[in-house]
Structure 1
Amino acid sequence: MVKYKLITKIINEAYPMDLLLLADPSETLVKQYLKFGECYVAELNGETIGVYVLLPTRPDTVELVNIAVAEQYHGKGIGKKLVLDAVQKAKQQGYLIMEVGTGNSSIGQLALYQKCGFRITGVDKDFFTIHYEEEIIENGIACVDMIRLAQQL
């Protein structure tokens, strides 16, 4: 297991856009939700290796809108630790529900979220074809629909 520390990103500091774009290829959308969300990073020896963003959406509800781990650290349990840290931070901030959405083609992410206590709550049909100009292909599957998941905190 890789040892790293989680810190809250300082507002005036540059966000790790390279990592954020691994999870969401639209820089425009990423910049929009960064204006209203809180960005947290995982660091190892001064290098940012993971990131997530919590975005308040409705009273008592927060959404995990972006989570990414640097490719060389995949498969080391960092993604799961980031999700669990996000859940803990949301609880500490008084939220009652956490939501997350991922692509229908994001097989690994769907498994991860369910392992972390999320349950599928719905599907936003054609989300990625409506909101993204370029086609997204993951695991040989066209990313078309957003699978919505949530958990009570």
Structure 2
Amino acid sequence: MEIKEVSAKDIPVSLLLLADPSKANIQTYLDKSWSIAAIQDQNIIGACIAKQIRKDTVEVFNVAVYPAHQQQGIGTQLLNNMITKLKRLNVSRIELGTGTFGYQLNYYQRLGFQVCNVWRDHFIKHYEKPLYENGLQHFDMLRLELVL
């Protein structure tokens, strides 16, 4: 497996939909983004997409790995590579949004992200269909930050 920078247009939407179930939302962050992919046998099996949202702040919008390749540390490698890239670009803060429960929250916290805000009813207001995880509906989005 190889981790390398790619164009966001080369990342399959089917992969990105695993982390963000809204095609319309995905389209809002692909332009002028940084994209890193995990490639195996010439196929993209995972990706991380980030985009500058303020002068010194970048948001990680999507970290996704196809199910057959999950639980192998690929997502962590992708995000760590993105963090390294952003440090080289003198970014001082990385933000991202996730649900208020679930494995994603633990994953990001293990990598040093901390809760900095709560966006109430985000998943109700911004997604066409309700989002469920382990039988529980997501309502609020936790905003997390990593200060570099």
TM-score normalised by structure 1 residue count:
0.91
Q: Is 2:38 the counterpart of 1:45?
A: no
For 2:146 and 2:35, locate their aligned partners in 1 and report how far apart those are by CA, in whole Å.
Answer: 20
For 1:129 and 1:36, locate their aligned partners in 2 and report how far apart those are by CA, in whole Å.
Answer: 27
Alignment correspondent of 1:148: 143
Shift of 1:14: 3.3
Q: Is 2:22 the counterpart of 1:18?
A: no
Shift of 1:74: 1.1
Alignment correspondent of 1:59: 55
Q: Following superposition of structure 1 onto structure 2, how do residues 68-83 of structure 1 map, counting pairs within 5 Å? A: 68-83=64-79
Identity %: 35
Within the candidate set 2, 5, 8, 2:2 is matched to 5
For 1:85 and 1:26, locate their aligned partners in 2 and report how far apart those are by CA, in whole Å.
Answer: 25
Aligned amino acid, residue 6 of structure 2: K
Question: What is the aligned-residue RMSD (CA, Å)?
Answer: 1.2
Q: Following superposition of structure 1 onto structure 2, how do residues 94-109 of structure 1 map, counting pairs within 5 Å? A: 94-105=90-101, 107-109=102-104
